Amino acid sequence: EMSPEERDFQEKVDAETKIEPKNWMPEGYRKTLIRQISQHAHSEVVGMLPEGNWVTRAPTLKRKLQLMAKIQDEAGHGLYLYSAMETLGADRDEEIEKLHQGKAKYSSIFNYPTLNWADMGAVGWLVDGAAIVNQVVLQRTSYGPYSRAMIRICKEESFHQRQGYQILLDMMREGTEEQKAMVQDAINRLWWPALMMFGPHDDESPNSQQSMAWKIKRKSNDELRQMFIDQTVPQLEFLGCTAPDPDLKWNEETGHYDFGEINWQEFYDVLKGNGPCNRERIKTRKNAIDEGAWVREAAVAYAEKQKQRAQA
Ligand code: ACO
């Protein structure tokens, strides 16, 4: 039996009226949003690290500027998302502390290494491409601050996706045989992890049913994964590359691509903290916070001094 508040809340959700921070909401709704938005924010922040690896090694000044701009965008996305999370009453420092203690999840994809320059192309094209498919529908999520954050984030992600694809196109069109091989190698390594970004199958996804009813999620994990495959395979063919999946083929009857089974053992291993780079990522984040402590202390001291001057 729903309480009157709960019924009122669900009617609003059903009518596509956004839920705002001061509106009544079920505790479960609040908790689920804090969980998802904090994981999403952590993903944006940790997501800077695989790319940061290549800033000093970008092949041209133009590529370096693009890469830095993209990484800064990710930092901005993290900040809007932490702010959206705070409107639900969550504490940013506490949530970040959970990340540093290895207790918070963030997207599995960022626990894979970026081994060659083509990885910067493949990350932009596949990883940001997958992120867009997921986030475009989140623009219609029921929680107002989250949905509004998604609008700007999606615009920026589209640029990321295109700059990534352009890197790969240039390497395939103008590159040496060795550079073309680097592109295929990057795709081979990142293809399956990109498909894992959408999460477990719908029938293995404990949060999906309730999150769909609350319209936090608008499409299921499997639906989004299929959308991503359907839009990405033609781009893969245009590049002149292949996917490391012998079962990938167009299905006339369904009007979708069929594809092989994800290695779920690998997915859950990465979620448990045992991916190739989990420990390194957390350590890097912790160091960044520790080594930046003096900047925050100086900023606080400066603000204090300004305040005293204003009062004097
Ligand atoms: N990496 C890490 N954890 C994952 C992943 C993944 N690829 N997929 C699912 N999980 C986690 C879920 O967070 C959930 O964990 P929890 O219950 O312990 O908190 C668990 O696995 C079970 O999965 P679901 O029940 O399917 O979880 P949920 O309903 O939250 O769906 C999804 C997962 C689709 C990722 C959803 O949270 C979402 O849409 N998040 C927003 C988008 C996002 O976070 N993108 C980050 C990557 S993109 C980028 O940053 C550039």
Between vectors from CA 196 to CA 204 and to CA 260, what angle results, nearest 5°? Answer: 85
- ipTM value for the complex: 0.98
Closest residue by Cα to atom 26, ligand 1, is 205
Among 240, 275, 236, CA closest to 259: 236
Model confidence at 312, pLDDT cuts 50, 70, 90, reads confident
Using one digit for the tens of pLDDT, what is the confidence trace for 18-51? 999 999 999 999 999 999 999 999 999 999 999 9
| 33 CB near ligand 1 (under 6 Å) | no
Find all residues with CB under 8 Å of 113, minimum gap 6, and list them: 50, 276, 277
Q: Which of 99, 120, 1 is nearest to 42 (CA)?
A: 99
Residue 1 has pLDDT above 90, yes or no: no
Q: What is the distance in A from the centroid of ligand 1 to the CA of 298?
A: 37
Handedness of CA 198, 203, 208, 212 (dihedral sign): positive
CA angle 254/236/159 to nearest 5° reads: 110
The pLDDT confidence band at residue 2, using thresholds 50, 70 and 90, is confident
Alpha helices by DSSP H, listed for the chain, are 4-14, 27-46, 48-52, 61-86, 92-100, 117-122, 128-138, 144-174, 177-196, 208-213, 221-239, 264-269, 278-291, 293-311
Q: Which residues contact 231 (CB under 8 A, 6 or more apart)?
A: 129, 133
Taking the CA of residue 106 as reference, the ligand 1 atom at the shortest distance is: 2
Residue pLDDT, tens place only, 271-296: 999 999 999 999 999 999 999 999 99
Q: Which helix (H) or strand (E) holds 257?
A: strand 256-258
